[in-house]
Amino acid sequence: MPPMPRHHLVAIAAIAVLLAGPAALAQVYRWTDEDGVIHLSSSKPPPGVKAERIEMPGSKKRSSTPSSSTRASSSSGSGSATPPASAAQVAEREELLGRLQTRECVIALEALDRKTDGAEPTSATEIRRLQQTAELNCSQDPTRRRQQEAMAAKLRVANSPQCVEARNQLADMMAPGARPPREQLQSQQAFVDEHCTSPVR
């Protein structure tokens, strides 16, 4: 069988890049550094760092196993370049990155509040880790930061013993065979929805 003409090989490589491009553009990377600080970025992590690749909803799924950025970049030696992202892809990726950063920010702020008020035993190392995670992921915009702090306060309430008990009571009311008065069930559900629902998933 004669070798494939060079221009055919170039065309095949170009098609492969175009097909792979949207998936690559649809990624956000999440990794934890040696100090336990959580990082989120739309850029690949430093070489040798194992990171989780988070796909945008609706994008073609790839392997969900953590991968080294060194291995992820090994296929780039072919000389092909990934096509530039469209404005819609950039906006979608940044929206996903913002949601994930808000989640990590809110979790870190809630844990900081809980651990610094003496509610739980902690250490200077843990406090520093949480502070660094918050600094990396919380917004620098004052209005947005206040919203994140309000979400952290809501998360603190949702994690409180009162809300754990309220959710348990609701689960008991909804268990097979349970027949609580309708008004009582509605009241319990309303309380859980208003006070005990986590603002982050």
pLDDT of residue 18: 37
- This prediction has a pTM of 0.69
CA atoms within 13 A on the CB side of 21: 16
What is the domain partition of the chain in residue ranges? 6-158, 161-195
Distance CA 44, CA 41 (A): 7
**Tokens 């003409």 -> residue:** 5
What is the rounded distance in angstroms from the CA atom of residue 99 to the CA atom of residue 2? 53
pLDDT score recorded for residue 6: 42
Residue 201's pLDDT is what? 79
Place of tokens 């309430």: 157
CB 65 within 8 A of CB 54: no
Determine the Cα–Cα distance for residues 73 and 75; give it in Å rounded to an integer: 5
**What sign results for the dihedral spanned by CA atoms 72, 73, 74, 80?**
positive
Q: pLDDT digits over 42-81, tens only?
A: 888 888 889 998 876 655 544 444 545 544 444 444 445 5
